[in-house]
Amino acid sequence: MDSTRDTCFSSIYKSDHPWLERRLQNGLRNREDAEDVAGETFTQLLCLPALEQLNEPRAMLITIARRITWRLWRRRELEQAWLEMLRLQPEPLEPSAEERVQTLQSLQALDTALDGLSSKARMAFLYSQLDGMTHVEIAARLKVSPTMVRKYIVQALRRCCEVLGV
Amino acid sequence: MTPLDMRSREAAIEWQVCLSSGQASDADRRAFDQWLAENPSHGAAWQRLNAALDGTLHRLRPGLLADGNPLRRSLVGPQLAQRRRLGKLVLAGGTVLLGAGAADRYVPLRHLTAGYVTRTGERRRVALPDGNMMELDARSAATLDGQYGVQVSSGAAIFEVAAGQGLQVHLPHGAVRLAQGRAMVRCASERSFCLALSGTAQVSTLAGIHRQLAPGQSVWFDAQQIDAVQDNQGYAAAWSNGELEVHDEPLQTVIAALARYRPGWLRASPQASRLRVTGLFPLDDSDRALAALTHTLPIRLQRLSSWYVMIDLA
């Protein structure tokens, strides 16, 4: 890291880190989360290519912080939904630590892949790949044409490949 | 990724969609085999696509994402609304409560570290190390706190305290001191509840207000203050016999109690929630309880699936 960049980062950190953390604390109502999100935000800021040319560091910080908070919420929401599923099983399930990690990784990958797709596209994909429904059945359920169902599934498969880097 | 790899990937996706469409013919399957054999990059792309599906869908326990379950709903649900909420949250400097709506459906994660957790529909009796007994209502969580203390962080519990050191029960909004006898506590989102069943109970709020309860008396309290003491409230502990007894309470109270015993979603519209209910309902057979409600109240049940029941005015 060259020295201009270094100075630039230090000055943003000094002037805006307390501000960001306060703001996050107000919004998140949780000090630890606020610290984590603020820390991760500055880490990501450091990776920006043209840090010196940043005109509105606070706007950028908010944008990054919002993205990180969103991910954090989704991760927790999925985890909670999954744990709730376990609770609802007729036979209590005690997943091993390994299964826990694996399941959460899979869920997050799946969630990231589905993120940005329409709700119908997500449903079409799961109906097809998980439930083994035919396109005609899915089309009837979602009230769209089978051609549309096909498009939805292609979109989702493409996203899966991208997310998993294949 | 080379242009050839990209084309192969697109073709692999097309094949995956074609073969799982339910309309693939034998000719399609032969064409697919031929495509695989044509070029090594085709086979590689097919394998990578399937690895991607393995990494997302197929590694999950079968049934985990069954249609209509909470996890599946969370995946297909409207994320945009939450994004908008998030936009407001960080920029407005925080008047919106974090994840309150979404998290409320599930038992909060922090309760998983609790020593004793009951699932939906489960009641459990636990012998505490000091010889006292604790019975947990469905969807409740409690942790031991020192030798003579218990923290109840969710749901409800009945304690039976033998003569001896007594028991200190910590709640989100205060604490209850039991010298001897039985008492019940319940945590709601903004208040806590204590009912003395036999023997006395000493309630203290976090702010340090105290009140002594005689058998049959109960109070609701928050961190600051204690509401008026109510007499003859023993029926509030009927859940320990698998029953729910209510005397002129809003339907919402009944729904909340039944929901602790019923997997899936059970909701009442705001109008229906306000109807007043008096009666005795079986907790362990929530279908029967719901049927009893429809016989006595001007309501109708909308069953979207066995998982999702909505109650509205008839």
Determine whether the interchain pair A81/B53 forms a contact, defined as Cβ–Cβ distance below 8 Å. no
Determine whether the interchain pair B21/A134 forms a contact, defined as Cβ–Cβ distance below 8 Å. yes
Residues A76 and A144 in one domain: no
- Collapsing DSSP states into helix, strand and coil, what is residue B46? helix
To which residue do tokens 């309290």 refer? B221
The contacts of residue B4 (CB under 8 Å, 6+ apart) are: B41
Higher-confidence residue of B3 and B192: namely B192
pLDDT at B183: 97
Residues A65 and A124 in one domain: no
pLDDT at B275: 94
Out of A65, A94, A123, a domain closes at: A94
Return the amino acid letter for A43.
Answer: T
Residues A122 and A77 in one domain: no
pLDDT by residue (tens digit) across A43-87?
888 777 777 777 788 888 888 888 888 778 877 878 877 877 777
Question: Touching check for A150 and chain B: CB below 8 Å?
Answer: yes
pLDDT at B174: 95
> How confident is residue B101, by pLDDT bands cut at 50, 70 and 90?
very low
SS3 labels along B155-168: EEEEEEECCCCCEE
Choose among B21, B86, B108: nearest Cβ to A70.
B86
Nearest alpha-carbon partner for B275 in B242, B314, B245: B314
Question: Touching check for B110 and chain A: CB below 8 Å?
Answer: no
CA A87 – CA B140 distance, rounded (Å): 12
Question: ipTM, 2 decimals?
Answer: 0.72
- Smallest CA–CA separation between A2 and chain B, in Å? 32
Nearest alpha-carbon partner for B92 in A8, A28, A91, A158: A28
Chain B residue with CA closest to A100: the answer is B60
Question: Touching check for B108 and chain A: CB below 8 Å?
Answer: yes
pLDDT at B104: 30
> Which chain A residues touch B90 with a CB distance below 8 Å?
23-24, 27, 62, 65-66, 69
CA dihedral A15, A21, A23, A29 (to 10 degrees): -170
- The structure tokens listed for A119 are 């709700």
Higher-confidence residue of B213 and B312: namely B213
State the total domains in chain A: 2
Residue B12 pLDDT greater than 60, yes or no: yes
Determine whether the interchain pair B106/A81 forms a contact, defined as Cβ–Cβ distance below 8 Å. yes
Chain B residue with CA closest to A122: the answer is B76
The overall longest dimension of chain B from CA atoms, in Å, is 85
- The structure tokens listed for A19 are 């501000």
Residue B202 pLDDT greater than 90, yes or no: yes
Residues A59 and A7 in one domain: yes
Out of A79, A94, A109, a domain closes at: A94
Residues A1 and A83 in one domain: yes
DSSP A102-150: HHHHHHHHHHHHHTTS-HHHHHHHHHHHTT---HHHHHHHHTS-HHHHH
CA A35 – CA A24 distance, rounded (Å): 8
Residues A102 and A79 in one domain: no
pLDDT by residue (tens digit) across A103-159?
888 888 888 888 878 889 999 999 998 888 899 999 999 999 999 999 999 999 998
- Please give the mean pLDDT across all residues of chain B: 82
Residues A54 and A106 in one domain: no
CA B182 – CA B199 distance, rounded (Å): 6
Question: Touching check for B51 and chain A: CB below 8 Å?
Answer: yes
pLDDT at B112: 36
Choose among A81, A102, A129: nearest Cβ to B70.
A81
pLDDT at B239: 96
Nearest alpha-carbon partner for B200 in B181, B186, B185, B219: B181
CB pairs under 8 A between A and B: 177
- Smallest CA–CA separation between B48 and chain A, in Å? 6
Domain that holds residue A21: 1-94
Residues A8 and A84 in one domain: yes
Out of A67, A94, A121, a domain closes at: A94
Residues A88 and A100 in one domain: no
CA A146 – CA B108 distance, rounded (Å): 40
CA A113 – CA A152 distance, rounded (Å): 13
pLDDT by residue (tens digit) across B224-253?
999 999 999 999 999 999 999 999 999 999
Question: Touching check for A97 and chain B: CB below 8 Å?
Answer: no
> Exposed e or buried b for every residue in A3-38, given b needs 16+ CB within 10 A?
eeeeebbeebeeebeeebbebbbebbbeeebbebbb
Nearest alpha-carbon partner for A61 in A101, A92, A89, A34: A34
Chain B residues 13-42 within an 8 A CB cutoff of chain A: 13-14, 16-17, 20-23
> How confident is residue B314, by pLDDT bands cut at 50, 70 and 90?
confident
pLDDT at A144: 96
CA dihedral B46, B48, B49, B55 (to 10 degrees): 140
Residue A109 belongs to a domain with what CATH number? 1.10.10.10
Residues A40 and A85 in one domain: yes
Q: Could you give the strand order of the β-sheet that contains B265-268, starting from the edge strand earlier in sequence? A: B265-268, B308-313, B299-305
Higher-confidence residue of B32 and B244: namely B244
pLDDT at B34: 86
CA B289 – CA B50 distance, rounded (Å): 47
Residues A86 and A7 in one domain: yes
CA B226 – CA B211 distance, rounded (Å): 8
DSSP B96-144: SPTTHHHHHTS--GGGGGSSEE--TT--EEEE-TTS-EEEEPTT-EEEE
Residues A80 and A32 in one domain: yes
Classify residue A87 as exposed, middle or buried by CB count within 10 Å of its CB (0-12, 13-18, 19+): buried
Choose among B22, B86, B107: nearest Cβ to A135.
B22
Question: Touching check for A75 and chain B: CB below 8 Å?
Answer: no
Residue B213 pLDDT greater than 90, yes or no: yes
CA A126 – CA B58 distance, rounded (Å): 11
Tally of residues, chain B:
314
pLDDT by residue (tens digit) across B70-87?
788 888 875 544 555 555
- The structure tokens listed for B197 are 């069943």
Return the amino acid letter for A85.
Answer: M
CA B126 – CA B119 distance, rounded (Å): 15
Determine whether the interchain pair B60/A65 forms a contact, defined as Cβ–Cβ distance below 8 Å. no
Output the pTM of the full model: 0.47
Nearest alpha-carbon partner for B114 in B150, B88, B149, B90: B150
> How confident is residue B304, by pLDDT bands cut at 50, 70 and 90?
low
